[in-house]
Each structure stands twice: as structure tokens, then as C-alpha cells.
Amino acid sequence: MDQDDISPSRRRLVTGATIGLAAGLAAPALAQRSAGAAGPANATTGATERGVGTAGGSAAAANATSGVQPMRDVRDLYPKPPFPHQSQPWPGLAGRMTPRPDHGEDSYRGSGRLAGRKALISGGDSGIGRAAAIAYAREGADVAIGYLPAEEADAREVLELIRAAGRKAVALPGDIRDRAFCKQIVAQAARELNGLDILVNNAARQRTHDSILEISDEDFDWTIRTNLYAMFWITREAVPLMPPGATIINTASVNAYNPSANLLDYSATKGAIVAFTKSLAKQMVARGIRVNAVAPGPFWTPLQVSGGQTQEKLEQFGGDTPLGRPGQLAELAPYYVMLASTESSYVTGQVLGATGGGGQP
């Protein structure tokens, strides 16, 4: 169709839809920043600690009361590399990272966008899953989180935060490489939450290997079962329990589109998650269930310090993005809220990117 044939009313409709989608993502982020959210630092002092200055901190406090969004330089909102040398055994704990990741614990402000909803999140103890769990609870949802028993310390913190928001929290420790456990967590979550209408397939394994010759059958199988089989098993169990209007959100990665040389098996699984998401979305239309994915770039999570990156890459993590820093999980939570809420009712089969200015989609 020639551009001149598009009516002004249609232009207004398309523009309005685009603005609405952007607003859905921006709303909670604006609330975070207006509340003086500062990253891993204490919420009341973080602006000064990041070098914004005392005046900036005072302005943020004043704006938190007035609801006005302060202007900030996004390049300096959170820590930049170089990061200190650090290593943890798999699966890693957020509480032992330096700097500690910001999942929105002291900053995320909800507005009832998920009131009465019932969510199951795999890998909900730390990283992306933790940020989503906190945001969902503060938006009014009851939340069940799956996690490895070794992650109990992180998980306890999340469960307390969910309960502090006045919502029901369900702990589901175990290994999702086990098909029986995947069936169990879906059934238990639906039973204890009295329903299930949000599923977030987020748990993942990432290990750095410079060559395919270094990847053992055991390592490859571990990654595939964690990243793909578990997503398949959990989703297959969840779908019959989910009503029309429910939503499924899968965590993909920028590595699905621009794979890192040292993350061969991980990148392969993330590419498969994109295809799985788009295909499943077409199937689920008949059930009234939306299916989407988020493809993050470099975000500061325990995956990176527990074998997901070399020390050299870890110390400069996120420095090669246009923003010059890794993302913090509080910056990603709004994506998961928007995709779970009815605000994105016309969005299915899509992959949303958050890459700090690089990569795809």
C-alpha cells in the first residue's frame, strides 16, 4: 500500500497502539525512579552513592512525594565495569554478589495491574525471576517460585518480600531437570494459589566454554534439560489449568540472535525458546492464552558469577553495550508485568528485547 493511501485515522490508531505499549513498559519504571530507586545501594542514599549528588538525591525525594519523574542519565543509573574478581559455585547466590543486584526490592511500586492473578515462576529466587516475583506481588498477584534447594537463602528473601506485599507466597524447591518434579510444581502451585493464570519459564543454566571440544555430554544434557525440557514439561502441565486470558512468558536471550562464541549450548537453547514461543503462541490462540518472550542482553545475575562467564569477561561485563554497563533486574521487571497484564491483550508471539542499545530484537 502506498504511504499516501493510509488514512489519518489509521495513522492515529497505529501511533496510539505504539504509545500504549511503550507506556505499559514505562509506568512501573517511572514509579521506581520517582521513588528514588538507586540500584543496589540503599534506596534513600543511592542517588548520592552513584555520583548524582546530594542535590539530585533531594530532588528525587521531593519528586517521590509529588509523583514527578526526575531526569536521570541512564548511563549512570547503576554500577559500571570494571567489577571485582568474584566466583561462586553453581548455581550462585545474589546475596553474595558484589555489587549486589537490584531486583526492585526497595524501589518497585505497584499499582494493582495484576490484582487477583496467580503466577508460577521458575527460577524465582534470584535474577530475572526474583525481579518478576517482587513486581507481580506488588501489582497484586499471588506468586509461587521454583528454585534449587541450594538457593534457599535467596528464595527465603523473595518469599518474605511477596508476603510483605500482602500476597500469598508458595515455595517450590527442587530440580526441574526431573520431569516428575516439573509436574509436581505446576500441580502444587495451582492448588495452593487456587488457580494459575501466569506462567513464567525463566530458570536457566549457563556455562562458559571456549570450544565445543570442552562441552561434555553431561554438560550439554544439563543445559538442554534445564533450559528446554523443563520449559516444555512445565508448560505442557500448566496449559490445561490456565483459563482464557492467561499468559505464558518465556525468558530467551540476546544470544538467540547474536550468540556468544563461549556460550554455544546456552545460545542454542535460547534460539529454540524463541521458536517455541512463536509456535506455541499460534497454538494457544484457540485457548485464549497469550505467549510471549523477553530477550535480555547482559544483566547482572548469579548466572554470570557461577561459571557463566570467564573472569575476564565478568570484570568488564556489560561494558561493550552502548550504555556502557550491564542492566539491573529492576529495569527488566516492567517487561514481565506488561506482558502478564491485560494491557498487552493484543500482544502474542512476540519477543521483547532489553539490551542496553545493542543486539536484537
- DSSP string over 8-53: HHHHHHHHHHHHHHHHHHHHHHHHHHHTT--SSS-TTTHHHHTTS-
Of all residues in the chain, the percent with pLDDT exceeding 70 is 81
Written as nine digits, the cell of 193 is: 494459589
d(CA 290, CA 299): 25
Please, are residues 158 and 185 in contact by the beta-carbon 8 Å criterion? no
DSSP string, 274-289: HHHHHHHHHHHGGGT-
d(CA 244, CA 102): 34
Question: Sheet containing 198-201: which strands, arranged edge to edge?
Answer: 169-173, 142-147, 118-122, 198-201, 247-251, 290-296, 351-354
Q: pLDDT tens digit string along 23-54?
A: 455 555 444 444 333 333 333 333 322 222 22
Catalytic, out of 108, 266, 335, 336: 266
Q: Do the domain assignments include residue 6?
A: no
Written as nine digits, the cell of 326 is: 550491564
Q: Do the domain assignments include residue 360?
A: no
Which residue bears the cell 550462585? 92
**β-pair partners for 170:** 144
Q: Do the domain assignments include residue 3?
A: no
Q: How far is CA 188 from CA 140, 172, 194, 238, 252, in A?
A: 20, 8, 10, 11, 25
Backbone angles phi, psi at 75, to 5 degrees: -70, -25
Whether 266 is catalytic: yes
Mean pLDDT for the chain? Answer: 83
Q: Do the domain assignments include residue 67?
A: no
Written as nine digits, the cell of 45 is: 542514599
| Residue 6 pLDDT > 80 | no
Q: Do the domain assignments include residue 293?
A: yes
Q: Do the domain assignments include residue 79?
A: no
Q: pLDDT tens digit string along 150-196?
A: 999 999 999 999 999 999 999 999 999 999 999 999 999 999 999 99
Provide the domain count of the chain: 1
Quote the pTM value: 0.81
Q: Do the domain assignments include residue 223?
A: yes
pLDDT in the model for residue 226: 97
3-state secondary structure of 252: coil
The domain spanning residue 331 has which CATH number?
Answer: 3.40.50.720
| Mean per-residue pLDDT, 206-223 | 96
d(CA 293, CA 311): 29
Please, are residues 136 and 114 in contact by the beta-carbon 8 Å criterion? yes
Q: Do the domain assignments include residue 131?
A: yes
Please, are residues 196 and 120 in contact by the beta-carbon 8 Å criterion? yes
Q: Domain residues for 310?
A: 88-354
d(CA 207, CA 21): 34
